[in-house]
Structure 1
């Protein structure tokens, strides 16, 4: 087996060395090293992905028709934003936790999607919004209209004269800009708590019946639809900020219950906070999103200087490992709540490609936001960072949704995926090449991280090592060719494992083309 792996890696080196990264070649080989959840996951906003019935709204059948595209991209799982009935376009305010929004299709459609995804060895993770319901949910309507309703205690209430209702909440950057957390019920002396806004009343997890209801919801999707796990929205806010230990314990309890239904269930949580706040959630959640890394990568590619990106990433990972050695570091560039990476780098394709190269060669289990791989653009408000995917040129794109008039990503501003697939230098094939590279390298998938100083702040340099595979990764963050010396103790990294531009190596010196990546093998 070792000889086979060596030959495979040698062939891979030749393949990437020649720059032959057409979509067919980049996706034809199965993953040899990575295994989900350590693999790459693709986030999809169903409403914008693919419209199968020409009603302007993306749907489950459309998504099923694009599973081969997802498979060929090289990802090993999808995370689907909420699909349950909801009065909003984004569906983060649920009115039926056991349903599928009719705009998206039926439960049978979703079962078919999961089955077809599994045939392609693609895992399915769905968004589960457990912090709050919609104010239109039957539970809340009953609770609001009748103080004796069995659902009254599913929510959090306080009398209007209670001192806590007079306080304006703290705004947490990136999390919620809502200050008034207590909301008036017309004609009542009581207010209800809604962290995000009045249309999303928080659920009361001090109520044992509510907790059991939530366990039932999770079991339902695992058992009836065979989903592989959940992305847990607003995981930090199940209890108020002054009760963090209760938050931590809730997710331990939830994981224990979900594992009874599916032993290998996967839970990834959204805790938008600093590392010290995030760490305790690792006791109950398998994975947590690494917001700090996304910001840091964007910052260094814009500045063209590595700064402390690698050192800080190593420090935070070591801190997390001290809490849970088996944690999954869910890294990403941007997601559905943030300006798209292409817009964050001012539409500079070279910088966007470098951001992807960093994400896919640094440690972590990367998440890609749909359309990122074709360079889609977008800035807030939120509708414009969730614009429809561009599959083909306008006249022939019968799959493109049109629920919103796009402001940033059109066939005029973004080259459609079908055209990019034919261009070996496209953003799409850049992503495929680096995904393929990572999937087939144990060092890039599982290896530890060691920063390397090559004496030039425009070069991000680090080692990745796992078992017998040792790689030295060099990224030129600048728009100029750079020559650097390999440190004396690393001169045994002397075989080109990968390069995506005309970089070269001679003895202890390497020449890096502008915005290029060179990886040397020991």
Structure 2
């Protein structure tokens, strides 16, 4: 009889485990809806062959670093052949830049990444090509060339009023969009600059070329999705409806090839301008998050970001419940976060706490996990990763002489791993908390309604039967707060926070998370 009782209890336990899914404290992969993506500039990541330039085999060698950090996916800045160091001006859409390796190297890297449950997203630059692309070289030859209509050309006298028009936008400081190729009376359009002529998406042949390029990378190479560069500028700004329609068509074509394809768009503008892109680009970068985070620290206004984020999420929710909010605290176009926070290590550690405790699908820029530094021009925001002290660092790229991220200013990863208080170990800890806590990853955002000192950011994350209260002090002064009675279980604390009954004491740049 006793044996039967034990067997019954054992069966109940088995059923309970099966029904509960992931055990508490076990890592989960929330990608793409709320997972973490790690942005890599291959040129600066890891040099496997000693030529001074990071490469694909170097990425393969360091996939374990991405996994250890807790990221679920990698976004690669451009990998295709290009005449520039940044490679945002493509000359061949169906190959890998030879400095980085070969297509076979890339396929092997993808397989190795997939074996570690890491997804791969590549930059797809289709708004424009390089002016050295074969299509453009043909296009220049004559008005009746078959490739002429792949680009936007106009006779000089028809655009005389626009040639010297100075147009500054949020995502471009280019002062001229029409460019003289140096012969004849015809000019071509290039929104960003003359080396990047815009493709003509009114031409069905161009659209078919782009869809075939997408098929190649999804089907033949095996990537999981695309980051769509300059998504707002496929058509001119005065044709937004055509932009929206194109991206819906693009999504349909890509989903025919890969139903679960991931598409994230770069649409840098107000939420009212960004939102109509959601039907075509279900994931969109949240530029407001980055800038409002910095503004919150500058003004020591804790709720500024929480209110902005709530406003954006509610606005998008009214349009669709399928959007993915791609949040980030830094990327390859902005100064390094530690520079933006006046190189204050407490602020810096708290900033990642904020990113990881907010809703969204966070992006991490390579090197942020070790506190790399960098300011404009862009090359110096993209300096080589410091794996070890320079004398031991066989994989450190040398394509550029770094000004900001050097051994004297940034502690290399190998040393940080053994330091319990290092940036790297702090990143690992807060990322692991997010990856093991469904409320932090998936919970809805609700604002704290009580009396709140101005420097405090306080909000709830609620998911099913889980209810979290998150509080951050964005100032260098101790703050106190009386919290609700039913939030007593502390699941995370940073910076020396203490609780006495219901009174919370928050030192400078500290954070705490309660569970109800």
Alignment TM-score, normalising by the size of structure 2: 0.94
Residue of structure 2 equivalent to 1:462: 459
Give the Cα–Cα distance (whole angstroms) in 1 for the partners of residues 350 and 167 of structure 2. 36
Name the SS of the counterpart of 2:401 in structure 1.
Answer: coil
Give the Cα–Cα distance (whole angstroms) in 1 for the partners of residues 457 and 421 of structure 2. 22
Worse-superposed segment, 40-49 or 495-504:
495-504
Q: Assess if the C-alpha contact under 8 Å between 1:289 and 1:330 holds in 2.
A: yes
Q: Size of the alignment, in residue pairs?
A: 499
Name the SS of the counterpart of 1:91 in structure 2.
Answer: coil
Name the SS of the counterpart of 1:474 in structure 2.
Answer: strand
Task: From the CA coordinates, give the structure whose radius of gyration is larger.
Answer: 2
Q: 1:358 aligns with which of 354, 361, 368?
A: 354
Give the Cα–Cα distance (whole angstroms) in 2 for the partners of residues 325 and 411 of structure 1. 46
Unmatched 5+ stretches in structure 1: 13-29
Q: 1:8 to 1:187 in 2, by over 3 A?
A: closer
Q: 1:267 aligns with which of 244, 263, 276?
A: 263
Q: 2:442 aligns with which of 425, 440, 446?
A: 446
Q: 2:513 aligns with which of 505, 516, 519?
A: 519
Residue of structure 2 equivalent to 1:19: none
Residue of structure 1 equivalent to 2:500: 506
Q: Does 1:136 align with 2:132?
A: yes
Residue of structure 1 equivalent to 2:475: 478
Q: 1:123 aligns with which of 119, 128, 131?
A: 119
Name the SS of the counterpart of 1:124 in structure 2.
Answer: strand
Q: Assess if the C-alpha contact under 8 Å between 1:160 and 1:189 holds in 2.
A: yes
Residue of structure 1 equivalent to 2:308: 312
Q: 1:4 to 1:213 in 2, by over 3 A?
A: closer
Offset at 1:307? 4.4
Q: 1:261 to 1:451 in 2, by over 3 A?
A: same
Residue of structure 2 equivalent to 1:246: 242
Q: Deviations over 1:27-48 (max 9, x none)?
A: xxx5236343420000000000
Q: Assess if the C-alpha contact under 8 Å between 2:163 and 2:177 holds in 1.
A: no
Offset at 1:432? 0.8
Q: Does 1:114 align with 2:110?
A: yes
Offset at 1:65? 0.3
Q: Deviations over 1:218-250 (max 9, x none)?
A: 000001111000000000000000000000000
Q: 2:195 aligns with which of 193, 199, 202?
A: 199
Give the Cα–Cα distance (whole angstroms) in 1 for the partners of residues 21 and 465 of structure 2. 11
Q: Assess if the C-alpha contact under 8 Å between 1:33 and 1:440 holds in 2.
A: no
Q: Does 1:92 align with 2:80?
A: no
Greater RCO, 1 or 2 (C-alpha within 8 Å, sep 6+): 1
Offset at 1:454? 4.3
Give the Cα–Cα distance (whole angstroms) in 1 for the partners of residues 359 and 213 of structure 2. 33
Give the Cα–Cα distance (whole angstroms) in 2 for the partners of residues 119 and 516 of structure 1. 37
Mapping of residues 487-498 of structure 1, within 5 Å: 490-498=484-492
Alignment TM-score, normalising by the size of structure 1: 0.93
Name the SS of the counterpart of 1:102 in structure 2.
Answer: coil
Q: Assess if the C-alpha contact under 8 Å between 1:495 and 1:521 holds in 2.
A: yes
